[in-house]
Every structure is written in C-alpha cells, then in structure tokens.
C-alpha cells in the first residue's frame, strides 16, 4: 500500500522538520535568555553612567565655586601685595629718618 503525498509530507514533517523546528525553538529560547541578561547588564551600566554624570556635575559645580572663591582671594592677595609694598616704602622712609636722627644725635 502506497502512501499518499499528504501522508508522505506529514511523515517528512514529523521525522525531519518537527525535530529541527523544536531544536531551533530551544536555541531561540536560550538566545532570548542570554539577550535578557545582556539587557540587564546594559541597564545596570546606564544606571552607573547616570550616577557618574551626577557626580561629575556635582564636582564641576563644586570646582566652579572653589574657582570663584579663589578669584576673590587672588584680588585680595594683590591688595595685600600692594599694601606690603607701601609698608616697605614707609619702613624705608622711617629707617632713613631714624638714621638722620641718629646722625644729629651723634653730632650733638
């Protein structure tokens, strides 16, 4: 008894194609699982990058505040340098006057 074409196709499907499709579905499920793991890793990386960006911005703002405060102190330091120069000049004048007074006292 010969099998009909439909029966032959059903047998071919059951014997060859169905096991192949099952193996493909199994591999696809494995790949899906691994893909989800990779996505989880990317999610954690994105969270870490977000935290790093936040820390970077905090550092930039903190550094900006420090730079701003230093600018004011640099100006104040230049004022101090100017004042020190004036004091040195005054000291030099006082020393000259003291030497003059000492000479006058030595003559007297």
Q: Per-residue pLDDT tens for 36-77?
A: 999 999 999 999 999 999 999 999 999 999 888 887 777 677
Return the pLDDT at 59.
95
Average the pLDDT over 11-16 and give the result. Answer: 94
What is the token pair recorded at 89?
């000049």
Return the pLDDT at 79.
83
Return the pLDDT at 68.
86
Return the pLDDT at 18.
95
Query: How much is the pTM?
Result: 0.47
Model confidence at 107, in pLDDT bands (50, 70, 90)? confident
DSSP, res 14: I
The SS3 assignment for 2 reads coil
CA distances from 108 to 22, 30, 100, 104 (A): 125, 113, 13, 6
> Residue ranges of the alpha helices (H) in 1-108?
5-12, 18-107
């Amino acid at each position: 008894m010969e099998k009909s074409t439909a029966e032959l196709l059903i047998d071919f499907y059951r014997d060859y194609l169905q096991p192949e499709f099952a193996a493909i579905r199994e591999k696809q499920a494995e790949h899906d699982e691994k893909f989800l793991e990779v996505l989880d890793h990317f999610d954690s990386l994105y969270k870490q990058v977000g935290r790093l960006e936040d820390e970077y911005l905090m550092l930039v703002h903190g550094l900006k505040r420090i730079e701003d405060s230093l600018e004011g102190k640099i100006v104040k330091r230049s004022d101090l340098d100017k004042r020190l120069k004036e004091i040195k000049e005054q000291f030099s004048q006082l020393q000259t006057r003291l030497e003059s007074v000492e000479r006058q006292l030595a003559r007297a």
